[in-house]
Amino acid sequence: MRKNIVAGNWKMNKNLQEGIALAKELNEALAADKPNCDVVICTPFIHLASVTPIVDSAVIGVGAENCADKVSGAYTGEVSAEMVASTGAQYVILGHSERRAYYGETVEILEEKVKLALANNLKPIFCIGEVLEEREANKQNEVVAAQMASVFSLSAEDFGKVILAYEPVWAIGTGKTATPEQAQEIHAYIRSLVAEKYGQEVADNTSILYGGSCKPSNAKELFANPDVDGGLIGGAALQVADFKGIIDAFK
């Protein structure tokens, strides 16, 4: 059966020393009080090699927030999936709405990134979600269906390694969370798309996380929905008390 997962997305926050301190503090908190779900922290590239050895990999997975859409070579400033994997990281966030909006990541670019991540044994946390105007025009289903094209060219075996994260853009960093009903409705729809493409068993085994202003105070009611298998957490992943509060929603 699918896993429940709480994954943190640190975004462009924390310098190296601060990031190491945050990872250590989280590691200690979860060693003292074991989580009832998988926990992942996705950090800026520069933190990865320092953070992977200091967390207990049986309790906390580590991931990047992006990787290149090319294998290697003359792509100044880029970081390949192979480089990410060489740090000991096991996950990579791909398709975050900030990358789609500010760095022009298209369905086709993301398809390449997903393939390279999987070829390097990284589990993609693949983000999809609509902007406010699309939600207001009731177009959220068609938007997420179109975004899923980046992962629907995978074999069923490879798709089975992908974690999905539904993140309505209007809820990211805004304090405006989707209602549990809104989250359940679209998560069920996303799962139905997976079932249509790969069959019910693959769909039932796919973890679909919710992201967008998730906090300790709303995590439990969001995660209680049958098709919400955890969260991708931005702001609240930057303090151990908040992040652990969300992890504890599974207790």
DSSP type of residue 148: G
- Quote the least distance from Cβ 96 to ligand PEP, whole Å: 6
Q: Is position 167 annotated as part of the catalytic site?
A: yes
> Is residue 233 a contact point for ligand PEP (CB under 6 A)?
yes
Phi, psi (degrees; rounded to nearest 5) at 122: -95, 140
Give the closest residue to 41 by CA, choosing from 232, 242, 241: 232
Which residue, 83 or 235, is less far from ligand PEP as judged by CB?
A: 235
Q: Is position 47 annotated as part of the catalytic site?
A: no
Tell me the C-alpha distance between 13 and 44, whole Å: 8
128 alpha carbon, distance to own chain's centre: 10
* Near ligand PEP by CB under 6 A: residue from 4, 147, 184, 213: 213
Binding mask 170-199 for ligand PEP (x = CB under 6 A): --xx--------------------------
DSSP type of residue 24: H
DSSP type of residue 33: S
- Quote the least distance from Cβ 95 to ligand PEP, whole Å: 11
How far apart, in Å, do the first and last CA atoms of the chain sit?
Answer: 18
> Is residue 150 a contact point for ligand PEP (CB under 6 A)?
no
Residues annotated catalytic, as ranges? 96, 167
Query: Residue numbers of the site for ligand PEP (CB under 6 A)?
Result: 9, 167, 172-173, 211-214, 232-236
